């Protein structure tokens, strides 16, 4: 049935050449994001009005640090995927679209690594 | 046929022509909150970097975030985060194949909006409580 070649059907990737990969990754990071966001909110609420030493001591706890690092990686990846959809929807010109997507990749990478670095520096420090 | 008079031709549907509906508003706000949170991530990274930089810079950033403007922005980001998270759960329900009845769709949109407001207020009440 249809005009697809058997190989094309087996690959199941369609014209975008990536199939449902993007959709799936967005859902996986979304699912993981629910408990991670809950954790981040609880952490920030608990840190409300806390002084410097208390915050440092809290992030010193490996479980808090691991939770934060997981949340940072997950959320940064999720927002990179999401922004890609938004850009592809609204930026029609190919060069501008590529440039915007590149800028988004750089932004997400930089902001995630900066946040992870900060957490690890505090957690590994004394 | 008319005598060469131009008639308004039917247009393909676009945003201004649809009747505003709650489901549509919640869908749009899911995207807008997503984009806002994309940039809001900077606030989290900044706060963590401030803590990693030392007590003086941390106190400076804490004071900034604790100002009325800072608190207003953080309140907005709290709502955006909760709204987007609940919207994600709503989408997850659809993704696994449930909730496509019109009444359910309408209820989910209301629950998303109401839930985000209630949860945001709750988070801030608890936030002031533990302070």
- The alpha-carbon gap from A16 to the nearest alpha carbon of chain B, in Å, equals 21
State the residue range of the domain holding B85.
Answer: 22-130
pLDDT digits (tens, 9 = 90+) for B92-109: 999 999 999 999 999 999
Does B28 map to a domain? yes
CA-CA distance, A111 to B46, in Å (whole number)?
9
pLDDT digits (tens, 9 = 90+) for B74-89: 999 999 999 999 999 9
Contact criterion met (CB below 8 Å) for A117 and A110: no
Domain count for chain B, please give it: 1
Does B6 map to a domain? no
- The alpha-carbon gap from B118 to the nearest alpha carbon of chain A, in Å, equals 15
- The pTM (predicted TM-score) of the whole model is 0.89
What is the CATH number for B101? 1.20.1300.10
Does B11 map to a domain? no
**CA B92 vs CA A8, A56, A89, B88: distances in Å:** 29, 36, 22, 6
Nearest to B35 among A30, A75, A86 (CB): A86
Domain A24-124 sits in CATH at 1.20.1300.10
**Complex prediction ipTM:** 0.89
Task: State the pLDDT at residue B10.
Answer: 74
pLDDT digits (tens, 9 = 90+) for B32-68: 999 999 999 999 999 999 999 999 999 999 999 999 9
Which chain A residue lies closest to B66 (C-alpha atoms)? Answer: A49
Does B7 map to a domain? no
- The alpha-carbon gap from B6 to the nearest alpha carbon of chain A, in Å, equals 31
- Interface check for B85 against chain A (CB to CB < 8 A): the answer is yes
Does B5 map to a domain? no
| Lowest-pLDDT choice from B4-18, B69-83, B104-118 | B4-18
Task: State the pLDDT at residue B3.
Answer: 63
Which chain B residue lies closest to A43 (C-alpha atoms)? Answer: B127
Does B4 map to a domain? no
- pLDDT level of residue A66 (50, 70, 90 thresholds): very high
Does B14 map to a domain? no
Task: State the pLDDT at residue B2.
Answer: 54
Does B91 map to a domain? yes
Candidates A52, A64, A88, A122, partner chain B, best to mutate (most B CBs within 10 A):
A52
């Amino acid at each position: 049935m249809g005009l697809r070649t058997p190989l094309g059907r087996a690959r199941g990737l369609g014209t975008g050449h990536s199939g449902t990969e993007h959709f799936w990754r967005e859902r996986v990071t979304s699912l993981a994001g629910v408990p991670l966001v809950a954790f981040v909110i609880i952490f920030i609420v608990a840190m409300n009005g806390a002084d410097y030493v208390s915050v440092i001591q809290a992030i010193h706890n490996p479980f808090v640090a691991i939770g934060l690092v997981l949340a940072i990686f997950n959320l940064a990846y999720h927002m990179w995927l999401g922004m890609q959809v938004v850009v592809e929807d609204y930026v029609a010109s190919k060069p501008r679209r590529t440039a915007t997507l590149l800028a988004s990749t750089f932004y997400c990478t930089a902001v995630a690594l900066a946040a992870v670095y900060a957490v690890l520096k505090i957690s590994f420090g004394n | 046929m008319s005598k060469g008079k131009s008639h308004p031709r039917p247009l393909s549907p676009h945003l201004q022509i649809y009747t505003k509906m709650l489901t549509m508003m919640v869908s749009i706000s899911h995207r807008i909150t997503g984009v806002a949170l994309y940039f809001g991530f900077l606030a989290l990274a900044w706060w963590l970097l401030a803590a990693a930089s030392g007590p003086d810079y941390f106190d400076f950033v804490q004071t900034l975030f604790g100002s009325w403007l800072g608190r207003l922005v953080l309140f907005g980001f709290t709502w955006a985060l909760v709204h987007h998270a609940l919207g994600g759960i709503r989408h997850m329900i659809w993704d696994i194949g449930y909730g496509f009845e019109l009444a359910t769709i309408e209820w989910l949109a209301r629950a998303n909006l109401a839930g985000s407001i209630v949860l945001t207020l709750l988070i801030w009440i608890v936030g002031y409580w533990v302070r």
